[in-house]
A and B are shown apart, each in its own frame.
Chain A
Amino acid sequence: MTVDAWIAEPVNWVFSIVAVVILFTAVRVVTSPNVVHAALYLVAALAGSAVMFLLLSAEFVALVLVLVYIGAVLVLFLFGIMITRAPTGFDEGLSNDRKLVSAAISLVLLGVLSWASLSAFGTDTVNTVGSPTATEILGDAILGRFVIPFEVVSFILLSALIGGITVARRDLTPLEEEERKAV
């Protein structure tokens, strides 16, 4: 497919615009000097990814991305930021001098992911816009063929949850127990 033919498709215009937005916001997530701004740029980047899924006619995945990441995970991020510190100016201590290492790791990750998806799917194409994947098929796949990975992921989440509670919880000292009983 030549570039002219590629750009003639309206879907690809949307793709290009959204891709530019995602790249810009993703860069701003790590370069923004204000931690709340960084979190909000992450929201924008995730919203862009949701649009990408919509372009691939994966409605369910797109909406679950919005629901779980934007609607829950990022809200928790913001909660964490605001309950500890919520600067409205610049935050000097936000960056450190380990930029090279992070850049190298990011590049390696990009390489691995690109290699994995290229070798898995190659030149396969997906459904065109307007014929979305039925949610039923996804449900059958998750609870059929992929049920064991699904359960494993659930257990990882459960153990993370229990770990979080154990780390955050502070048992009362005997003295405090006495005080609480007295009240």
Chain B
Amino acid sequence: MDWIDFLIVVLRVVVVFALLLLVTIINVWAERKVVADFQNRIGPERAGPFGMLQTVADGLKLFFKESIIPARSEVGMFLLAPFLAVIPAFLIFLNIPFGRPITIGDRVIPLQGMDVDVGLLIVLAMSSMAVYAVVIAGWSSGSKYPLLGGVRATAQAISYEAAMGLAMVAVVLFSATQAADAPGGTLSLAELVERQSGTWAGIIPRWNLIPQIVAFVIFFIAAIAETNRAPFDLVEAEQELVGGYFTEYSGMRFAMFFLAEYINIFSMSALTATLFLGGWNGPTWDGVLPVWLSALLPFVWFMIKTYVLVFIFFWIRATLPRLRYDQLMALGWKRLIPGALGWLMLTAVVLGYRRFGLPWS
């Protein structure tokens, strides 16, 4: 590995970082606009064209505000929590391939922060680490409402992580049968995307969405719950808990929680697109279009798919009322987890039948 390879790795990480910050600025604005439209309001419109610079203005404002540290807080933990929120959020997206590998000279550059054999596990592990930020923030604030937010977050994270993991297993199991040349399962996200290329019967894209539609629904519901978004935002329920776990945070530290939440929305949408909607797969018309355009198109397809899902996030937030705590637990443990388990067994039986035939024959 010479210095150019090293530089490429650094560049990839920096690109992911910049991309996430950029989409966060857009997403915060987009959510306010979309929700405003749903509620027949105008939304931000003063700062910049269509109010697009509103997020920048808000960010600058938060940057200059005082960060208050409450007297009753555990100072060390209180200061650590915002960082614990942002780091896993970045690490999740680092694993997601956002474009087709580019070939420059004799170097193949994957458009992905890092391609690891167990990428899917890293994503799952990091999304379960995110709850620590909420718990530590809630506990260290030394105040009642944040503590309640933290307690709610723990129970919610555990309940929905299980459903999410089980839905992923069904997808991994299915995609193990999809490789033409290399049979066997994979946990690498780049490989999972690769296996969804092409079409069935010439027109239906070979996305996991169609054969794994149940897993998709379960996964997406669990993803919304994992990111603590409405209707699963009991962690930060304004009407009951003031602001939930970040009640005592202000200034830049509050902005970091906000940033983490929006990065998580984008990362979870990107992950769903990667697992179920074929990631960056799409027509690129190689040879017809100029080379640079063909190289850019996969990224465009990826962004379109991701933004469709991000829009659904906003849509659900604007449509559904918040769940009650017992409803949240009932949905997680009595619907999603048995549903995911049943779907996993069905997938396993069907795939086993296709490969081995009937057990008694």
Contact B132 A135 (CB under 8 A): no
> Are B140 and A71 neighbours in the complex by a CB distance under 8 Å?
no
Cβ–Cβ contact B147 & A71, under 8 A: no
* A5-13, A60-68, A112-120: which lies at the interface: A60-68
The answer to whether B147 touches A60, judged by C-beta atoms less than 8 angstroms apart, is no
Query: A78 — which chain B residues lie within 8 A by C-beta?
Result: 135, 139, 154
B residues near A75, Cβ cutoff 8 Å: 128, 131-132, 135, 154, 157-158
Q: Is A82 an interface residue (CB 8 A)?
A: yes
Tell me the count of chain B residues lying within 8 A, CB to CB, of chain A. 32
**A78→B151 CA distance, assembly (Å):** 8
Is residue A22 within 8 Å, beta carbon to beta carbon, of the partner chain? no
User: Bound state CA distance, A43 and B132, in angstroms?
Assistant: 10
CB proximity of B294 to chain A, nearest CB, Å = 33
Contacts of A139 on B, CB cut-off 8 Å? Answer: 185
- Chain B, interface SS category: helix
Q: Contacts A59-B116, A67-B124, A71-B128; is A79 near B142 (CB within 8 Å)?
A: no
Name which residue of chain B comes closest to A82, CB basis.
B151
A64, A67, A72, A136: residue with the most chain B Cβ atoms closer than 10 Å: A67
Task: Report A74-99 residues with CB < 8 Å from chain B CB.
Answer: 75-76, 78-79, 82-83, 86, 88
B346 to chain A, nearest CB (A): 19
In the bound complex, do residue A71 and residue B154 qualify as a contact, i.e. CB atoms below 8 Å apart? no
With CB as the reference atom, state the residue of chain A lying closest to B188: A135
Residues of A within 8 A of B155 (CB): 79
State in angstroms the CA–CA spacing of A64 and B116 once bound together: 15
- A25-64 contact mask (Cβ, 8 Å, vs B): 1 or 0: 0000000000010001001000000000000000110011
The reply to whether B158 and A76 contact each other, CB–CB distance below 8 Å, is yes
Known: A78-B135, A82-B151. A132 touches B117 (CB 8 A): yes
**CA of A46 to CA of B131 in the docked complex: distance in angstroms?**
16
Chain B residues with CB under 8 A of A79: 151, 154-155, 158
CA distance A40 to B150 in the complex (A): 15
CB pair B132 A88 closer than 8 Å: no
Q: Give B165's nearest chain A residue, CB to CB.
A: A67
* Residues of A contacting B116 in the complex (Cβ-Cβ under 8 angstroms): 59
Instruction: Check B158 against A82 for contact (C-beta < 8 Å).
Output: no
Complex contacts, B122 vs chain A, CB 8 Å: 63
**A38: min CB distance to chain B, Å:** 13
A72 to B136, CA, bound (A): 15
CB of A50, distance to nearest CB on chain B (Å): 9
Provide a sorted-by-A list of 29 A–B residue pairs whose CB atoms are within 8 angstroms.
Answer: A43-B132, A60-B121, A63-B121, A64-B121, A66-B125, A67-B121, A67-B125, A70-B125, A70-B128, A71-B128, A72-B158, A75-B128, A75-B154, A75-B157, A76-B158, A78-B139, A79-B151, A79-B154, A82-B138, A82-B151, A82-B154, A83-B151, A86-B139, A88-B139, A88-B140, A135-B117, A135-B187, A136-B184, A136-B185
List B residues at the A interface (Cβ < 8 Å): 72-74, 77, 116-118, 121-122, 124-125, 128-129, 131-132, 135-136, 138-140, 142, 147, 150-151, 154-155, 157-158, 161, 184-185, 187
